[in-house]
Amino acid sequence: MELNKIAASILLSGLIIVTISNVVDVLYSPEKYKIEHQTIVAAGGGESQQRIEQVALDIGVLMQNASFEKGKSAAKKCIACHSFEKSGANKVGPNLWNIVGNKKAHLGNSFNYSKAILEKGGKWGYEELFTFLKNPKAYIKGTRMAFSGISNPQEIADLVSYLRQLSDSPVDLPK
């Protein structure tokens, strides 16, 4: 009789999880935030092959309409792992002061970055930050950052606007 109760509890839990998952999928649709869909193709020996499919955003327009205050509020999602003060301490993630326009792994040896981000290289420009904040694990495969990403491009723009101001000399906005 006890085994039946345990089995019923497990099955009921599984049913509840599947039901909630399906309801969330119906209510939440990140596709509504896509602005423009662009497919890039390359010709190879007379035949076109699809190489990259990406969502193209007008980052300049989004950044012009970005709200520092909304970005500061959005950054509350990040405070468990990151600090934002100048010369602030690293937490699970690195301090984010002066991140916009700076090189990836900008803190050098003072933070233990994942091998993936060290190999990625480059700078945190607006396009890189938008792509990373949309889906960190897709942009840098192997990153230790557990954050799943932000699907709303305007929320990303607000957050980047806030991060941009965390600098002694903020980077110019994109055109």
Element (H, E) at 35: none
Coil, helix or strand for 150? coil
CA angle in degrees (0–180, nearest 5) for 127-135-68: 55
pLDDT for residue 38:
44
Element (H, E) at 87: none
pLDDT for residue 75:
93
- Asked whether the beta carbons of 63 and 160 are under 8 A apart, the reply is yes
Buried b (16+ CB within 10 A) or exposed e, 131-164: bbbbebbebbeebebebebbbebebbbbbbbbbb
pLDDT tens, position by position, 8-60: 999 999 999 988 887 777 666 544 444 444 444 444 444 433 333 334 567 88
Query: Would you give the DSSP letter of residue 104?
Result: T
What is the 3-state composition of the chain as percent helix, strand, coil, each rounded to the nearest 5?
45, 10, 40
- Asked whether the beta carbons of 95 and 89 are under 8 A apart, the reply is yes
Q: Which amino acid is at 23?
A: V
pTM: 0.66
pLDDT tens, position by position, 76-111: 999 999 999 998 999 999 999 999 999 999 998 889
pLDDT for residue 24:
75
